[in-house]
Structure 1
Amino acid sequence: MTIPPDSADHMRTRIERRVESWIFHSRWLLAPFYLGLIVGLVILLIKFLQELFVFLPQTLSASQSDVILALLTLVDLVLVGNLVLMVIFSGYENFVSKIDVHNHPDRPEWMGKLDSGGLKLKLIASIVAISSISLLKSFMNVDKITDREMGWMVGMHLLFVCSGLILALTDKLSVKK
């Protein structure tokens, strides 16, 4: 028995549509990842509050460098939180579904406008900033860090900076084309 050509094309089209539908709906498999990042953000908040409340009683007796180190630690945690939030928002919007808060007054300007290329640049910029703060903290504690550890930290920071420059250059070149 031979299947007429029109019927075979129709069957192939139905199968193709079904496969494409499964592929399209598979994006929802990413949603638990973003929910997990929200849990990670809560953990980061707990760590931030822990750092804050551990340092508060020492504020009056702390040296200037201890205060700066404590503040740099808090800033570091805030930057990581911002980074996680950017990944949650833009990743969810780019790969899963649009977040329907267009009329909300607190909606960030960049929301819905940050594509994967822009996200990569913001991520590497945040990583460089976080690395800079860690390096600054190390310089302030230079007596507690070996030369080898300091060398690795500086090397890693330079690697992050170079990676950021290469990503930015690549992005700029691809936009021109």
Structure 2
Amino acid sequence: MKRLESAFEHFLFSSRWLMAPVYAGLIFALLVLLVKFGKEVWQLSSRVMTASGSEVIIGVLSLVDISLIMSLLIIIMLSGYENFVSKMEDLHAHTDRPEWMGHIGFSDLKIKLIGSIVAISGIELLKAFMNVGNLSDRHLGWMVGIHLTFVLSGLLYALMDRLQGKGH
């Protein structure tokens, strides 16, 4: 019976490799976002001379938005892979290895995720405020409400995480 249990545990442990294609899919998502970023840069640069100040600001905010999402994907891919699939032992001495790699746990990853969602939501809200004349009060109200929900959720999650950490 112990042998069966051991075999099952090895099988269960090996199943973590089923996450590897998910991280490969996130690499594809990075490429898609890179194309979107290039398109935004092209559109912004092609109309920079005729665009109003608010249109330029909205264009730049769109670039920042894409950049935040891409950075978040990098954090999720690298820390998720190291936390759930395999340690990247060969890269520990690499000069370009980010300091946070190997130190972000699942809880830290969730905090970074909610923080990024709040930042992205804030950028979308700022873009909406820059274009407030084209939005209904109801639409703007929903955007503010959703953003505040993200902010409150982030604060509550950070508080719960901090309270839980003090117990250890």
**TM-score class normalised by the smaller sequence:** over 0.9
Which SS does the other structure have where 2:91 is aligned? Answer: coil
Q: Which amino acid aligns with 1:54?
A: Q
Give the aligned length: 166
Distance in 2, matches of 1:67 and 1:55, equals 7
Note if 1:136 corresponds to 2:126.
Answer: yes
Question: What RMSD in Å do the two structures reach over aligned CA positions?
Answer: 0.7
Note if 1:60 corresponds to 2:30.
Answer: no
Note if 1:163 corresponds to 2:148.
Answer: no
| 2:59 aligned partner | 70
Of 108, 114, 136 in structure 2, the residue corresponding to residue 124 of structure 1 is 114
| 1:41 aligned partner | 30
Residue 60 of structure 1 and its aligned partner are, at CA, apart by 1.5
Residue 23 of structure 1 and its aligned partner are, at CA, apart by 0.3
Residue 119 of structure 1 and its aligned partner are, at CA, apart by 0.5
Of 115, 123, 145 in structure 1, the residue corresponding to residue 135 of structure 2 is 145
Q: Which amino acid aligns with 1:170?
A: M
User: Tell me, which stretches of 5 or more residues in structure 2 are unaligned?
Assistant: none
Q: Which amino acid aligns with 1:150?
A: L
Q: How does the TM-score come out when normalised to structure 1?
A: 0.92
Kindly name which structure, 1 or 2, has the bigger radius of gyration based on alpha carbons.
1
Q: Which amino acid aligns with 1:97?
A: S
User: Tell me, which stretches of 5 or more residues in structure 1 are unaligned?
Assistant: 1-11
* Range that drifts further, 12-21 or 98-107: 98-107
| 2:72 aligned partner | 83
